[in-house]
Structure 1
Amino acid sequence: MSGSHRHEPTSGMGRFIDTVEETLIAYTLGIMTVLTFVNVARRYLFNASLIWGLEVVLMLFAWMVLLGISYGVKKTTHLGVDAVTNLLPRGPRRALAIIAAFICVFYAVLLMKGAWDYWAPFAGLDVTSGRWFPTGFTPTRSRAFMETDQVPMPFFLNFLSDLINDGDAYGKLPDVVPYTMLPIGCALLLLRFVQATVRILRGTQDTLIVSHEAEDAVEDAAQKMGN
């Protein structure tokens, strides 16, 4: 099978992780759909709304995007232009794929640093020092007290007040909760780029972008109809 096709896990753990990621993305999309439907129905039928519904939908949308980016890299489903690279011989084409992969890893490292530095104050943690790469940690003003506008504080997250907010109770959901997906999503993106780079170096994957599976499917269907 050509390395340009989607990477599929061969181990049980890999398939389990696939299932977890796909389930999280599906449930996130499902909850967004239900909340939006309920809000629209309440607004037009009862002249009322879930005051926190839109804010939660925006949070979940951001979570789904961050999860989906890394999942797309993992499955090589991101779009790209390969009209020029496909004209090159296999050797130069592979060299360009390796260069692109290393650039993506470098970019993901920068994103990871930026994501941590943005999220850390909301968790009462220190940001990293260094302009491009982390060279250590440096103290910063805590923003752990900051809350969302309308989202109620779930009772099972009350431990956060003692953990990061010096015991001060939250009236609304703290910002650290929705922002936590930022470093998680960037860490997953970095991991997937590293894994894709390793597969390209080993020759089991040709590119980081979506393969021509649609064209292959049409050709297979045409051949079956011809037979």
Structure 2
Amino acid sequence: MSSRNHKDSLLGHFVSELEETFIALILGVMTIITFVNVILRYGFNTGLIWGLELVTFLFAWLVLFGVSYAVKTTANLGVDAILNIVSPTARRAMSLIAAAVCVFYAILILKGAWDYWANFANLPQTTGRWFPTGFEEMKRTSYRSWYEVVDIPMPEWLRFIEPWINQGEAYEKIPRFIPYFMLPFGAFLLLVRFVQAAGRIWSGAEESLIVSHEAEDAVGDVAHLNKED
């Protein structure tokens, strides 16, 4: 293995580990907050007022982040009954068409996610009905960065954003553009994963978007165990 390939594999391994760690961290934080809230509610008749809202946001982050990670690891579900009965050439063509549709879908999701999030971040929305053709002209009346969440208090270490995004006004709660940022970020990751998957199919590294057959493997394992019994 060349030095370049070795470095690429190390970088890819680091990124994969980082993503898995982030997903595990979200699950851990959700579990801890929920557990603490249950103990406080039933043991001390109190609770974390902001706990439910934070867990809701974290769950949304987990879903959005997990979608792109599933595409990357080919853990998403798919049906390949037709692909398995056609010729390799037809299979490749159908897989490329499916990948193009997925990329198109991801672009639509990214545009919609950006336009929704930009409304809360003092950023311009995109123009164009299907594809972004530019950015709209921002007006002062369009600023929505003062929108806050319902319960999660503003931490002191985030106060540095107030002068340049909220005209120096103090936040009582976390501004919505912070938790909502996962919308365009998750959509962007999904687009990147689909482009990467399309590239692997084009280069011949993979035959389709469907690589994992965990359900079939599980059925095979059970059948094998039954035969042994």
Could you state the TM-score of these two structures normalised by the residue count of structure 1? 0.89
Contact 1:35/1:57 (CA < 8 Å) preserved in 2?
A: yes
> In structure 1, what is the equivalent of residue 186 of structure 2?
185
Q: Distance in 1 between matches of 2:118 and 2:84?
A: 43
Tell me the CA shift for residue 10 of structure 1: 6.2
Contact 1:122/1:144 (CA < 8 Å) preserved in 2?
A: yes
Q: Distance in 2 between matches of 1:214 and 1:92?
A: 25
The reply to whether residue 85 of structure 1 matches residue 86 of structure 2 is no
Q: Distance in 2 between matches of 1:147 and 1:67?
A: 23
Contact 1:78/1:210 (CA < 8 Å) preserved in 2?
A: no
Q: Distance in 2 between matches of 1:210 and 1:32?
A: 31
Q: Distance in 1 between matches of 2:143 and 2:30?
A: 31
Tell me the CA shift for residue 187 of structure 1: 0.6
Contact 1:124/1:165 (CA < 8 Å) preserved in 2?
A: no
Q: Distance in 2 between matches of 1:150 and 1:199?
A: 45
Name the SS of the counterpart of 2:119 in structure 1: helix
Q: Distance in 1 between matches of 2:37 and 2:217?
A: 43
Name the SS of the counterpart of 1:170 in structure 2: coil
The reply to whether residue 165 of structure 1 matches residue 166 of structure 2 is yes
Contact 1:79/1:210 (CA < 8 Å) preserved in 2?
A: no
Structure with bigger RCO (C-alpha 8 Å, 6+ apart):
1
Name the SS of the counterpart of 1:167 in structure 2: coil
Q: Distance in 2 between matches of 1:213 and 1:29?
A: 23
Moved more, 18-27 or 77-86: 77-86
Tell me the CA shift for residue 210 of structure 1: 4.7
> In structure 2, what is the equivalent of residue 30 of structure 1?
28
The within-5 A match list for 1:127-146 is 127-138=125-136, 139=138, 141-146=142-147
**1:84 is aligned with what amino acid?**
I
The reply to whether residue 69 of structure 1 matches residue 70 of structure 2 is no
Q: Once superposed, what is the RMSD of the aligned Cα atoms?
A: 2.1
**1:28 is aligned with what amino acid?**
I
Name the SS of the counterpart of 1:209 in structure 2: coil
Q: Distance in 2 between matches of 1:37 and 1:54?
A: 11
Q: Distance in 2 between matches of 1:150 and 1:43?
A: 17
Q: Distance in 2 between matches of 1:40 and 1:216?
A: 38
**1:202 is aligned with what amino acid?**
S
Contact 2:91/2:208 (CA < 8 Å) preserved in 1?
A: no
Name the SS of the counterpart of 1:123 in structure 2: coil
Tell me the CA shift for residue 213 of structure 1: 4.5
The reply to whether residue 156 of structure 1 matches residue 154 of structure 2 is no
Runs of 4+ in structure 1 deviating by more than 3 angstroms, as ranges, are 213-219
**1:168 is aligned with what amino acid?**
E
> In structure 1, what is the equivalent of residue 95 of structure 2?
97
Gaps of 5+ in 1: 1-8
Tell me the CA shift for residue 135 of structure 1: 1.2
Q: Distance in 2 between matches of 1:25 and 1:208?
A: 23
Q: Distance in 1 between matches of 2:63 and 2:217?
A: 28
The one-character-per-residue Cα deviations of 1:176-201 (angstroms, maximum 9, x if unpaired) are 11001111111111000000000000
Instruction: Tell me the percent identity.
Output: 56
Aligned residue-pair number: 216
Could you state the TM-score of these two structures normalised by the residue count of structure 2? 0.88
Moved more, 100-109 or 207-216: 207-216
Tell me the CA shift for residue 85 of structure 1: 2.3
Of 119, 122, 125, 2:120 maps to: 122
